[in-house]
Amino acid sequence: MSEVKLSDNERMKRESNFIRGTIEQDLQDPLTGGFNGDNYQLIRIHGMYQQDDRDIRNERTAQKLEPLHNVMLRARLPGGIITPKQWLVIDEFAEESTSYGSIRLTTRQTFQYHGVLKRDIKHMHQTLNSTGIDSIATAGDVNRNVLCTSNPVESELHQEAYEWAKKISEHLLPKTRAYLEIWLDGERLDTPDEEPILGPTYLPRKFKTAVVIPPQNDVDVHANDLSFVAIAEQGKLIGFNVLVGGGLAMTHGDTTTYPRKATDFGFIPLSHTLAFAEAVVTTQRDMGDRLNRKNAKTKYTLERVGVEVFKAEVEKRAGLKFAEVRPYEFTSRGDSFGWVAGIDGKHHLTLFIENGRILDYPGKLLKTGMREIAKIHQGDFRLTANQNLIVAGVAEADKAKIEQLARDYGLLEDTVSEQRKNSMACVSLPTCPLAMAESERVLPAYVTELEGLLAKHNIDDDTIIFRVTGCPNGCGRAMLAEVGLVGKAPGRYNLHLGGNREGTRIPRMYKENITDRDIMAELDALIGRWAKEREAKEGFGDFVIRAGVIAPVIDSARDFYAV
């Protein structure tokens, strides 16, 4: 009988000496700005992706130069909370040691640096470490940055949920000393590394976790392998409903891949949170597909072995059975912009950051403005999973000063439309190596066109959850939008319709591989119908399903590709 051939990533992880590889040797190689062999993949578990500037790739090739290799770093910030002091350190490094000078807020509720050259990578890690931040396990086959609802109003409940997000993140982190040794010059010990939760070859594929506080679904629970839905009584957290197997990535042309909503396994008491988190991760570790990486995510494991089999194994490993699902409801998933007052007497200012890109633009000095706010702010900053930023914990006496700075630097504008606030894109070109079409760079213009269509049909007081992603890997969460564009080629996208405002339904492909001009023409006609035929408070995604424009996705494993 022939031996079953695992994917090459499994060999790579097995031979890596707990993700060390030869990264240190690569750092000393002056002949290339990139990483060689397995190290190209291994640096991901350290929180980095190797990229290059695709806008100048052809020019450099013509000059017989290698691509302008650099890395993107994604920080680990469970729940997205940082201090003003940390922000100032983050800002300074971005200004002095990145090619783009920007700080990019991401849909994983953290920040990214883009354009860090190999000579500056170690300095980057040590700079972040000096202020208490690392990037271990924000990419690769591990549990990634743990999200948490950015709810500044119910302060006590949010604090409890946030603390659990931090505990879950720490509990599921890789235990290897490789990060400490390579980047922080940590002591080499003779004792061998162990990975009691992740195992010596880590997980079959990336794994995403979130903590969410209903009725806000700002972390998009159905985009995550594991979500903990907070259940509270009298303002106190008593436990979680556990949702497993969500995920949005797919592969063009491969119908064995699809987005999937998470399955609600049931309620657990607070004291068993870490046990169940570990049990879900280790069950996926042992049952997940290590042959075909395209089918290695938790969502495919559930479909392959069966939900009840997977659930029973989790209960066995956790030593406790799930209780009945506690009732909860999601009513929104956007951020609440402007000032809100918390129950603790503090005030919180949510700033809209288009595309999450904090940079100084002509007439809008966002990066400078954030720096000036950080110099005087006494509370904290909260990054949201929608790429925005909350200046949280502001005393009454400091409100006017914070608001004036935000207005002076273009961080707070009264003219931003609700449609723009409800639109989102991944980074895509020029840095992402997977990008097939533009995303971040075209979103502002696409939203302007969409605003024009809403005004044309006299419904510019309404909004559509609109998202663009440059490839089918799901970073922009287009597969939970009312209108989602998924890149196929420059200027061409698959148009998906039929998600809902609450983020609990996956949209179906309506048109394949069409130009952005054709997309806007299709939306013009459909928005016109929505304006005339909609029922009271009916969202666009609900309308196109009720009107028979497109069929709802009921069970994506079986009907996502149905005509």
148 catalytically annotated: no
Residue 162 β-bridge partners? none
d(CA 137, CA 168): 13
Residue 364 in 3-state DSSP? Answer: strand
The one catalytic residue among 20, 44, 208, 382: 208
Q: Alpha carbon of 21 to those of 36, 178, 411: distances in Å?
A: 10, 9, 43
Tokens of 536: 């009271």
The one catalytic residue among 104, 285, 475, 501: 475
The answer to whether 206 and 145 have CB atoms below 8 angstroms apart is: no
206 catalytically annotated: yes
Cα dihedral angle (51, 170, 179, 281), rounded to 10 degrees?
Answer: -70
Backbone phi and psi for residue 82, each to the nearest 5 degrees, phi listed first: -140, 165
11 catalytically annotated: no
d(CA 106, CA 95): 18
74 catalytically annotated: yes
The one catalytic residue among 108, 260, 426, 505: 426
Q: Alpha carbon of 500 to those of 226, 463, 481: distances in Å?
A: 21, 12, 7
Residue 116 β-bridge partners? 71
471 catalytically annotated: yes
DSSP states along 198-266: T-TT--SS-B-EEEE-TTB-TT-GGGSSEEEEEEEETTEEEEEEEEE--B----TT-TT---BPPEEEE
The answer to whether 112 and 135 have CB atoms below 8 angstroms apart is: no
Residue 257's identity, in one-letter code, is: T
d(CA 31, CA 224): 40
Backbone phi and psi for residue 534, each to the nearest 5 degrees, phi listed first: -70, 155
The one catalytic residue among 346, 432, 505, 508: 432
The one catalytic residue among 290, 299, 421, 471: 471
**How many residues does the structure list for the chain?**
563
Helices (H) and strands (E) in the chain — how many of each?
18, 22
The one catalytic residue among 13, 20, 74, 367: 74
Please choose, from the candidates 345, 523, 551, 556, the residue with its C-alpha nearest in 3D space to the C-alpha of residue 451. Answer: 523
The one catalytic residue among 76, 206, 297, 367: 206
The one catalytic residue among 144, 297, 357, 505: 144
Residue 300 CB burial class (10 angstroms; 0-12, 13-18, ≥19)? buried
208 catalytically annotated: yes
456 catalytically annotated: no
Which residues are known to be catalytic? 74, 144, 206, 208, 426, 432, 471, 475
